[in-house]
Every structure is written in structure tokens, then in C-alpha cells.
Structure 1
């Protein structure tokens, strides 16, 4: 087969970018592959909008079903987003013997375990590089480049909206609400930003990375997830004074006896990282993924995590990978989740209470003698030692902000201590708890 015929579902921002590459870069793609990749058809509900692209040679339809069952389509690209009808369309395409490529992290995180065996049973491939990190080839690096390594940790800045907000808050000393409004005006954040700012988007991506790193099933529902909405400009300033920068990180680590992994730690939350670390330098809407392996040591993948051109680039890279072996050479591709299907295991997720971490604590307390002594006594009762303690200026309410950095303890132990601390008469608000990763590269 000297031609791979592509059908595209969705002509939004990313879909338009994919169509643009397939049309405008057709000669370059052919030179790299030794065969043609041709956009045959595209489906979208809105076929009237001008997209600045010559689609005269493309069959346009407002019914995606026409594409996923069409005889003249070899590969379907799903860029609709969300769970449904994306899952149904991709499953139907696979059932009809068509390869599938998607940028849909929610789809893979929620339904990947259903779609991978379906693709295998039909002898077709499913590609999803663009689902994590946009244009950054982090999945390919983890699946192929680091394949000889036992992965020791994965750290990721995986949401450009959150990174943009935290960067602006730091650079301008601005409040979260003001920067969020600016991000919405600039198009970085949706009108309802919950999916991004509460860490859900990052959790989707982390669950895929963790499963690929450790040969586990994808368990999005078991990722411990916290967002950035409680972070204040004062917290960012306090962290800076202590030598740290706050980033929303997705973190995955293995746990077990020696070289045998039986549990996987997965968490998404605002994290203090050393200001001189590589990942702390990732600013604005950029993404980064750090993979550490026992032989390769620390590797970092950095770039635009979203947007028309970077994400479309990753989608077309998947199309080209599949086109190289099409129509009947799927077995020559690396397994979609990096491990052969029969070796992927249903590993347990480490309980949140058992996570070991260092912590940043911010308390608002009444400005009177003995309060800090009472707080530190409770921490001592739970064998929690302090690395640093900083008392801020008194507020107009006569409350004082107290910032503490702890040494390593378990989440369960810390939460037990905090439950006692918030019961003190002098503590006026809930304690803000942030986690700290001192060993990130």
C-alpha cells in the first residue's frame, strides 16, 4: 500500500492544524515515509466557518459515522474531545479495521483499557502521543527511548493554564482570581476552568504516564488530586523566600520490595520545588516531563503542551508511525502502553495516607503568647520535625500568618497532627498544606 487514507473527526483548533499539516506538508511526509498520507474526509458540525485552508479535495460531512465506517478510510483521527461520543466513534473505527489516532487524554485515561485490546484483536494500531504534553514527544520517549530502564520517578508540569497562572502570580505578585480572569480573556483558560485549575486535566495525563512507566493498568480515578485555587500570592512569596517555587506537578513513583513493583504512587497537587531545579525554570504556558531511570538517570522533555501547531504535530507524528507499517505490520510498533499486553499488571495504587513527603504549612493564628509553642508541640507528638518556621506580619484582623516547612513524614501522620492543630482556639482558618519535592532534578 503506497497510500494511507485519513479521515478526521473534528475541525476545531487542533483538527484544523492536523488538516493543515497533512495538506501543506504532504511532500515532506511522503519523502520521510516513502508513501503518501492523504486527508480524504473530515467531519464537523460546523462546515461553514472559514478555516483559512484549502479543503476542496477533502470530502466534508457533518456526520462522523460516515467516516468511521467508510471503505475509503484507513485511519481515523479523533479530535472531538471528552468521553462520548468520542469513545463510540473510536471503538467503531477499530471494529471496522481502521487505525485510530487521538489527542484525547480523557478518552485514553477513562477508556484506554477497553480500546487497547479491541485494537489488538482487529490487528490495528491506536496512537495518542498528543494526549500528554501536546507537541512534546514524552510518551514516545517513555515507551521507546527509556525502554531499557526501570523508571524511578516521573514528574510533570502537564497543564499550561495552571503554569501560566502560577508564573504570572509569581512575576507580578498578583492574586489568583485576577490572573485567572486574565487567563480566560487570553484564551488560556475556559469560562469554566475547573478541569484545568483543580488538577483533573493533569490527573488524566499522569494516569497515562504512570501506567506506561510501570506496566500497570490506567487508574485515573485513583490519582490523588488537588488544584491551585487555594494558592495565594503570599504563599508564592513565602516559598520564594525559602528557596522554592510552586508548580502544579503530576508525580508518579514505584513502590515494592527491591526490584519488584507492587504499588504505584500517583498524585497531582501544587508542589514546592527548589528554585534552582530544572523543572522550576519551566514558565508561562510551557509543559515539561522529567523521567528518571536507573540507567539513563534524569531526562527532561520540554515544550508547548497545547495549541494548534504543537498538538497537531504530535497527532501527525502518530499518523506517520502507523503509516510506516500499514497495512499489516502493526506488530512492528512498540506496544501502545510500552509493555506487551500480557505483562501489564493490575498494580495497587499507594494509599494517600502512606505517601511520604515534606510539607509546607500555612496557618493563620491569633497573635498571642504560646500559640506557636502549642502548634509545634502537636507536631512533635506526631514525630514531625521542622526545617524552617517563618512568622509573618500581623494582619488587620490581628491574625498572624505562620509558615512552616517540615521534614519528611507520611500524609496520614501529618493529617492526624493537622486535625488537632485546627482544633486549637488560636487557629483561625483551615491550614493550607502544600507538598515539597526537594530531590526533583
Structure 2
């Protein structure tokens, strides 16, 4: 029931899947194993939605009316279990039919017939599918083609079909913790474990030795250089991975976020990590510190298309209008962040987006609006020597198909600007 309701609200109403599950008391009351199952089924349904819908269409004489949201969601979840999650066929079918009898009784025979046929013919259907095209909305693919070319756009889409691994950032001694956590040490400095399983039982969780953070997400904070003893603002700070990096590196950090709820969670995370920071509830468009600061990290609100492999619902809950709408907000935040700096201070602007309007398009616009700002190019040596992560202008640009031999990374863009003295 929890998975079904979340999927309907996500795919039909456009609500973020993680938010739906985190706020559902029924989900939070489940055992950890059952919560993980709900998350796996809903995420994989979103990840493979285009393929699933193509298979369902082939098995039905006519599509379900648009209003039959619940029946459609039951079929989609059942198909995900049958085709991509390796559930026992009889279990996937019977569970789906039972759910249909409880929620949409008139459609139970249809659910039974369609899923049984998928159990027989689904593997052959999938073998003939164009995975990248089916699972990627046209507006996303077109944008990536314009920005990166056809080959790279397809590689990005194909990378999204794989579940992301578990990446960790450690306070210190990464080699030691790699051994203790049965993890690989990445060239960018973080640790990587296979996806799946809870994190609370892992060594070092209770003592705050590490936190969960994608390898690419850990890079923008490193572009501020040595921050020990410096006064640093982390704007739009929640959930706090970058805040933790800066505090662990010895910075005096003020974490600013518009959401009191998210800021409270950030404070809880810092307590577990035994890191001291200050927090302020404020809007990055207008909030200013009492005195100028040495550095600002602005991880701005964005479309999040760089994190589709971790949050596959983003492909279906965002629209072509979102990047341009958000880019206007980002411009205002960039200008305010630069105004918070001391002379010779540094701003790192970052977004977890693959869309050029939110990344590369912001660079020249920001320099044009702020004549006292200059671009300070990033060197590959600053990010573990991985040259493919630095673009021609000297900005950080990671793509999900980068570091493919290591399991890929999230998509990020970051530029470093210095305010003249």
C-alpha cells in the first residue's frame, strides 16, 4: 500500500518520491528491511518507467483510461518486480493481483492477465528495447545532445539505468576506513561500496567517522582550497554533506538554508559527526552576514537532473520549463553570494544539474553582471587528477558516464569565482 500510494502521487501528481516516503508514517513504521524493499520497488519502477510502459502497451489491447491511476501503478510495480528486480514470477503476480482486489477490484483480472503474459514474454520484449531512449523524456535527451553531443547524451542516459553505489566521505584516514568498510578508495578521495543495505550498522557510523555523499558532490567544497581557520558560508546547505566537509577541514562554517526542517536535520547530522557549525534560517537570494566572509559555497536549488541515477523519479517529475525558471533564481543567488565576500574572497557555485542553463550558461552571465569577479580555473590535481571532470573553461563538469570503470558519478557543475580586492 505504501509503495502504491507513493508511486501514484509521484508519477501522476509530480511529487518527489523521497519526500513522499519520508513523510509517510506507515513507511517510517516499517522494519528497515521492508522500508528498503519499498524504496527499491518504487525507485526501480521510475528508473525503468519507459521500458515498463512499452511492455504494458504491448500486452494490452487498449491503454487504461488516464483516470485509472491506481490500476496503472499496480501494473507498473508488478512489471518492475517481474522484469528488473528478479522477484519470483508467481509472487510478483499474486501480490499485484491481491493489491488490485483491495484497491481496484474491477481491474484485478486485467492485472493478472497482463502480468502473466509479461512473465512469459517480457524478457524477449526487453531484449529488443532501446533502453536509453525509452527511459529518458525527449526534452532531457534533446538538451543533453545540444550540450554534449549524441554519443555522450546516450552514454548519460544509459548510465541512469544502473543503480548508484554507496559513496562515503571520511573525516580522515581514507585508506584505513576503506579496509574497515570493505570499500574502494576512489581517485577523487572518497570511498565506494556496492549499493544496498543499511548504513547504521556499518563501522564508524556511531562515531561519526564518515557521511554519505556522492563522489561528485564532494568536489565543489574542495575547490575552496585550504579553509582551515577561515570564515565560510554554506548557502542552501541542507542536507549538510558539504557543510561537514568544510567543518572537518577546520573552517568556521555558517550553514544557511531556507527550510527550518531541513536545517534541523542538518544540525542532527553535524551532532552525529561531532562537528561544530552555526546555522541560520535564511534565503540565499537576500540573506547577508554581519561582516564579509572569506569564502562562500553556494549549492543552489536546481532541477537535479545530475542525480537521476539516485533519484530516478526526477526524470518524470521535472519539466522542460524547470531549468530556465530555476536559472533565474540561481542568478540572484550568485550575485548575493558574491556580495557576501571580502575582497579577494572566493565563491564556488555548484548545481547537481546536467542542464546548461543552470551550469555553463551561468558563467558568462555572472561575469557580465559582476565586473569585480573573475573566473579562477580548476586544475585536475585539485580533484584527484581526473582530467575528464574539468571542462575547457576550467570549471568542474561531471557526467554520470564519467569514471565509468569505477561505477560512474552524479552530474555536477561548479565554477570558482574570485572577488577582486
TM-score (norm 2): 0.29
Q: Higher relative CO (CA 8 A, sep ≥ 6), structure 1 or 2? A: 1
Greater helix fraction, Structure 1 or Structure 2: 2
Bigger CA radius of gyration? 1
